[in-house]
Amino acid sequence: MGKGLRWDIGRKQAREFYKEQGILPPEVFDAVDWDGLELALKGKPQMYKLWYGKQCTGYCATNSKMVQWRMSDDSRCPDCNGLGEDAAHLMVCPNRQRRQLLEEQIRKLEDWMESHYTDPELGRMVGQYLRGRSRRKFASLSCNSRQLLILAKTQDMIGWRNFTEGKLTRYFRVVQKRYLSHAGASLTVDSWLKAFISKLMEMTHGMWIFRCISKHHRTKGSLVLASKAKLFK
Ligand SMILES: [Zn+2]
């Protein structure tokens, strides 16, 4: 069976799965640039792909999942203490350090966009959208072209969480292809998309690592406190 055909079957199943899980309705699924996402995932370590799959489907070991799996009775976020920490909370946690980390990552992404032939208008919109932390719509940002407006509207259909997990509207490809050729860049649109999507995934992965370190310290911290309390009994 040809590789292309196998991928088609995989994509069909994914489309069905995403619909069942309520992650993406089929018409929105088709608006996503899956080719770009596939390029970004290609060559990533297996463990990274495993984390990525768990994050996207919500089956990662967040504290609300740990409660659901009866492995814990504490569903609070290790950083902000909010109840019911789930996969969607990862990129919207209001904890100050988490917000600081996000800001640092956004700045790094902006530096990368600036040095890698990104349409300046698009780059500005991406920074503003990310800083909105899910509360700002792409289409609410000012833009100077019809294509960017279509990009913004279709990205809003795909949504914030999916964006932070590297699911872009196909219009990123359209806008960037045009800009790269206009700028006379030797960079191909596939290479740009691969790197840009990888950066978004790294941003989300970095947040997961930070959260896991917090959880570890917190667990360790409370264990230490418990043993200290025992000593004074
Ligand atoms: Zn939190």
Whole-structure pTM value: 0.90
Answer yes or no: is 171 within a domain.
Answer: yes
* Confidence label for 225 from pLDDT (cuts 50, 70 and 90): low
What proportion of the chain, given as a percentage, has pLDDT over 70?
90
In this prediction, residue 43 carries a pLDDT of: 86
Distance 81 CA to ligand 1 centre (A): 6
Question: Chain centroid to CA 82: how far?
Answer: 21
Give me the pLDDT at residue 1, please: 45
Nearest to 85 by CA among 214, 188, 189: 214
Cα 85 to averaged position of ligand 1 atoms, centre (Å): 7
Does residue 225 lie within any of the structural domains? Answer: no
Q: Are 101 and 210 in contact (CB under 8 A)?
A: yes
Q: Is residue 133 part of a domain?
A: yes
- From residue 32, alpha-carbon distances to 84, 115, 159, 163, 202 in Å are 29, 25, 11, 10, 19
Q: Are 85 and 76 in contact (CB under 8 A)?
A: yes
pLDDT digits (tens, 9 = 90+) for 47-70: 999 999 999 989 899 999 999 999
The 10 Å Cβ neighbour count of residue 35 is 14
CA of 39 from ligand 1 middle (Å) equals 31
**What is the Å distance from ligand 1's center to 23 Cα?**
21
The separation between CA 149 and the C-alpha centre of its own chain, rounded to angstroms, equals 22
Q: Examine residue 177 and state whether it is found in any structural domain, yes or no.
A: yes
Digit-coded pLDDT (tens) for 68-82: 999 999 999 999 999
Averaged pLDDT for residues 120-149? 97
Q: Kindly give the distance from the C-alpha atom of residue 112 to the centroid of ligand 1, in angstroms, as a whole number.
A: 28
Is residue 226 scored above 70 in pLDDT? no
- Give the structural domain span for 123: 24-59+95-211
Residue 150 exposed, middle or buried by CB count within 10 Å (0-12, 13-18, 19+): middle
Mean pLDDT (the chain, rounded): 91
Give the model confidence (pLDDT) of 159-189 as tens digits.
Answer: 999 999 999 999 999 999 999 999 999 999 9
Q: Which residues pair with 169 in a beta bridge?
A: 32
In angstroms, what is the span from residue 142 Cα to ligand 1's centroid?
Answer: 30
Give how many domains the chain has, as a whole number.
Answer: 1
What is the number of helices (H) and of strands (E) in the chain?
Answer: 11, 0
- Beta bridge partners, 32, equal 169
In a domain, 144, yes or no: yes
Question: Is 29 inside any structural domain?
Answer: yes
**Residue 170 lies inside a defined structural domain of this protein:** yes
Let me know if residue 224 belongs to a domain.
no
